[in-house]
Amino acid sequence: MRKQLFAIGLTLLTISFCFNYFLKTGFVFSTLMIILIIIGFYNTIQQKHAILRNFPVLGYFRYLFEKIVPEIQQYFIERTTDGKPFSRNQRSLVYQRAKNIDATSPFGTQLVLNQDSYEGIKHSIFPATVNEELPRVIVGGPACTQPYSASLLNISAMSFGSLSENAIVSLNKGAQKGNFYHNTGEGGLTEFHQNGADITWQIGTGYFGCRDDRGGFDGGKFAEKANLSAVKMIEIKLSQGAKPGHGGVLPASKNTEQIAKIRGLQPHTTILSPPCHSAFSDGKGLIEFITRLRQLSNGKPIGFKLCIGDTSEFENLCQEMIHQNCYPDFITVDGAEGGTGAAPLEFADGVGMPLEPALIFVNKTLIRLGIRDEIRVICSGKIISGYSILKAIALGADMCNSARGFMFSLGCIQALRCNNNECPTGVATQNKMLIKGLVVTDKSERVFHFHKNTLHAANELLAAAGKNSFAEVDINIFMRGDEFSNLADHYFPDNLTNVTKH
C-alpha cells in the first residue's frame, strides 16, 4: 500500500505541477499534495499505529469513523425502539415532557406485546380519580429529629465535575421550582448547588467537602455544611450500580483548576477515589458512622447508597442495625444498569445486581427482619417514566431518583462522551465553549416540567390501576407475558391442533 501511495501521490503531484505551469491553476491542489505526501511519509516511519504505517493516508478514515460511531448509530441506524442505554422513544418522551409539549404517541404501540418479556399494568375496570397533587414521602426514622418531606421523584447523585456548572445550576433551579431534592454526588456541595433547592449531600470515599489533610473524614468540616438549612439529607455512598466496588473516577480532562480547588486535589490529573471508606471498614463501623453523622448534623436524615452484590453482607448489615438499635433513615438501592460519568467497562457490564431483583431482595429482607417501617427505600436505575416509577414502588421502593432522565431534560442527546470532556450539549463537560450552549433559564424550566409531567403520568397510571395512593401499590398490579402462556397451558391443556372440525 505504501508503494502505491507514493506512486499515486507523485503522479497527482506531477499533474498538479503541469496544471500550475501551463494553466496557472492548481496551486492549492499541489500544496495539498505536498502536505499529504509529507504526512504519508511520516506515517510510514512512525511505529505506534500499524494501520497508519500500512495505509498512511486512508488509515485516517478509520479514526474518523471510529470517532463518529455514536452519531452514525443514532442518526442513521437506530430505530425508535432500540438505542442504548435508552431508546429513541424513551429519550423523546423525556424531551417532550421537559419541553411541556404534547407527549402522546401516535397510531399504537411499536412494541411486540405477544411475547414473554411483555410487561404491563393490570388496569382496573373501575379506575380511580387522578390525583392532581404530586406525591411526597416523609424520610426520617425514630432517631431523626429533622425529618424531611421528599418528592416521590428526585435528582440522583451527579457531581459538579462530572456535570458542568450550567448543568448543576439548571438542575438546582429546576428542583427549587418543583420542590424536589438535588443530590450533590460525591464531588461535594458547591456554590452551584446552592440556588435554592433542597439538597441531599452525598459523602463518598474521597470525603470531598469534609476532607482532612490526609484525605480522611473531618467531622468539623462535615458539621459546618451538614447544618446548612438547604441540606435536608445526608447520603453515605458505599457503591453505585455502574461501578460497584470501584470508587469515583474524574478523568484528567475534566479535572480543571476550579474543580481541583473545590475538592482539594491536583488539577489535570485523573482522580480515582478509593473503593472503600477510611472512616469505617465493616457493618459495625458503618452503623457507628451513621450515629456520628446524625449527631454532627443535629438529627438530619442519614442514609446510604449501594448496589447489591453479596446478599449475605446486606443481611449481616441489617442484623448489625438491630444489634445496635440504630437504623439509617433511608437506603438508596442503585441497579447495576445505572449510569456514570466514567467507569471501567468490566465494572459497568459485569458487576452488581440489577434494580429489579435488588429491590425485591432489599424490601423482603427488611420486612423479614421486622425493620422495614424504620427505613425508607429509595431506588435508581433507568427511572424515566411514570411506568418505571410505579414499577419501582411495586417492587418495594418508597421513592425514586433519576440521573440520566434529568440529563435528558437538560438536553443530553446520549452522545456517549461524558468521559472525554467533549459532551456536545454542555451537560457533561468542563469545556467552557461547550458549556455556553446550555442556557440555565431555559433548561431549569425543562427540569421542572420533566419532574412535574412524569409524576403526573405516574398519578394517571395509579388511577388506571384503580388505586388511590402509592401505598396501595404492590407487585400484583403487574403482569408479564410469560404468565399468559402459563395461563393458556392451565386453561387449555389440549392445544388447538387436537380440535376436530364437524
Q: How far apart are CA 393 and CA 442, in angstroms?
A: 31
- Closest by alpha carbon to 318, among 244, 372, 357? 372
Q: How far is the CB of 420 from ligand FMN (least distance, A)?
A: 13
- With cell 429513541, the residue in question is 88
Q: Which of residues 318-337 bind ligand FMN (CB under 6 A)?
A: 334
**Considering the rule CB under 6 A, would residue 198 count as an interface residue with ligand FMN?**
no
Q: How far is the CB of 15 from ligand FMN (least distance, A)?
A: 52
**Considering the rule CB under 6 A, would residue 382 count as an interface residue with ligand FMN?**
yes
Q: Which of residues 256-315 bind ligand FMN (CB under 6 A)?
A: 305
Joined grid coordinates for residue 192: 452551584
Letters for 428-457 (x = contact with ligand FMN by CB under 6 A, - = none) are: x-----------------------------
**Considering the rule CB under 6 A, would residue 233 count as an interface residue with ligand FMN?**
no
Letters for 153-172 (x = contact with ligand FMN by CB under 6 A, - = none) are: ---xxxx--x----------
Q: What angle do CA 157, 306, 316 make, to 5 degrees?
A: 155
Q: How far is the CB of 167 from ligand FMN (least distance, A)?
A: 9
Q: How far is the CB of 248 from ligand FMN (least distance, A)?
A: 6
Contact segment (CB under 6 A) with ligand FMN among 313-321, 379-387, 440-448, 493-501 equals 379-387
Q: How far is the CB of 91 from ligand FMN (least distance, A)?
A: 13
Q: Residue 251: count other Cβ atoms within 10 Å of its Cβ.
A: 18
Question: In the Cβ-directed half-sphere of 415, how many Cα atoms lie within 13 Å?
Answer: 18
Backbone angles phi, psi at 355, to 5 degrees: -60, -45
Which one among 237, 417, 446, 452 touches ligand FMN, defined by CB under 6 A?
237
C-alpha distance from residue 483 to each of 94, 114, 354, 479 (Å): 30, 11, 22, 7
Q: How far is the CB of 450 from ligand FMN (least distance, A)?
A: 12
Q: What is the dihedral of CA 177, 209, 402, 340, to 10 degrees?
A: 140
Q: Residue 491: count other Cβ atoms within 10 Å of its Cβ.
A: 7
Judging by beta carbons within 10 Å of its beta carbon (0-12, 13-18, 19+), is residue 74 exposed, middle or buried? middle
Instruction: DSSP for 119-143, please give it.
Output: EEE---SSPPPPP-SPPEEEE--TT
Closer residue to ligand FMN, CB minimum distance, 37 or 235: 235
Which one among 134, 403, 455, 465 touches ligand FMN, defined by CB under 6 A?
403
Closer residue to ligand FMN, CB minimum distance, 294 or 305: 305
Which one among 328, 405, 411, 426 touches ligand FMN, defined by CB under 6 A?
405
Which one among 247, 338, 386, 396 touches ligand FMN, defined by CB under 6 A?
338
- Could you tell me whether strands 119-121 and 478-480 are parallel, antiparallel, or unpaired per DSSP bridges? antiparallel
Q: How far is the CB of 417 from ligand FMN (least distance, A)?
A: 11
Judging by beta carbons within 10 Å of its beta carbon (0-12, 13-18, 19+), is residue 328 exposed, middle or buried? buried
Q: How far apart are CA 43 and CA 62, in angstroms?
A: 14
Q: How far is the CB of 157 from ligand FMN (least distance, A)?
A: 3
**Considering the rule CB under 6 A, would residue 376 count as an interface residue with ligand FMN?**
no
Q: Which of residues 112-141 bind ligand FMN (CB under 6 A)?
A: none
Q: Which residues bind ligand FMN (CB under 6 A)?
A: 156-159, 162, 185-186, 202, 237, 240-241, 305, 334, 338-341, 380-383, 402-405, 418, 428
